[in-house]
A and B are shown apart, each in its own frame.
Chain A
Amino acid sequence: GESVGLHLPTLSVQEGDNSIINCAYSNSASDYFIWYKQESGKGPQFIIDIRSNMDKRQGQRVTVLLNKTVKHLSLQIAATQPGDSAVYFCAETTSGSRLTFGEGTQLTVNP
């Protein structure tokens, strides 16, 4: 499953499928980007980050891609599990100051 365009409020996938969540950022001076996962009633949980001098970074089941030319960020989740169901936010910052968050995407994983 993949979110269409630059922002889609909801994304529904089948368990075991790969998920792609997209995000557009606004500040060309941002040098650091983070993806957060937020479950209902909880604070955002750090998933993966990437610096502006990179275009790809991989973690455990997650990959972040950065395209600075079009100011676009994506999060790929491999073999999506029901526990991955949450709202996902991208965030950008310059030199570790304030984070500016995108609007978020609600990921629902169907068993």
Chain B
Amino acid sequence: DTGVSQDPRHKITKRGQNVTFRCDPISEHNRLYWYRQTLGQGPEFLTYFQNEAQLEKSRLLSDRFSAERPKGSFSTLEIQRTEQGDSAMYLCASSRGGGRGYEQFFGPGTRLTVL
């Protein structure tokens, strides 16, 4: 069990560009979550998946954001036409889900800087 991994760890992009982040959850974890964290604040929920189904999306997830988990394993988060306000740490977490455990384990995050 290697823990949750995220790639890339850092991304610098220019305003208007598209970016995609990847998350690999802990194996056998059914649930996968995306959060966003800005400096000095706690993580804010974006969306989560149960296997390949996207069960909930936050109001924070504008139409420029899309997340997928096509095979119920890894997930991608894409931001189109990035804005400076998108600069943040994007965190992924996974859990067994349901009655098997609610503990969410986080990855190291992807730090996005939009110039």
Q: Give the B-binding residues of A (Cβ under 8 A).
A: 32, 34, 36, 41-46, 49, 89, 91, 93, 95-104
Contact = CB atoms under 8 A, between A and B. Distances in A.
B82 interface: no
Interface string B81-110: 000000000010101011001111111110
Contacts of A45: 106
Contact of A34 (B33, B44, B45, B103): B103
Given A98-B45, A99-B43, A46 B91 contact: no
A99 B104 contact: yes
B108 A89 contact: no
B74 interface: no
B56 A46 contact: no
A61 B103 CA distance: 19
Nearest to A36: B106
Nearest to A104: B42
B103 A49 contact: yes
B109 to A, nearest CB: 5
Contact of B106 (A32, A44, A103): A44
Contact of B102 (A44, A96, A102, A104): A96
Contacts of B45: 98-100
B102 A32 contact: yes
Contacts, number: 61
A99 B33 contact: yes
A95 B56 CA distance: 13
5 nearest A-B residue pairs (beta carbon): A101-B42, A96-B102, A43-B106, A98-B45, A32-B102
A96 B97 contact: yes
A32 B4 CA distance: 21
A47 to B, nearest CB: 11
Nearest to B6: A43
B35 to A, nearest CB: 8
A16 to B, nearest CB: 29
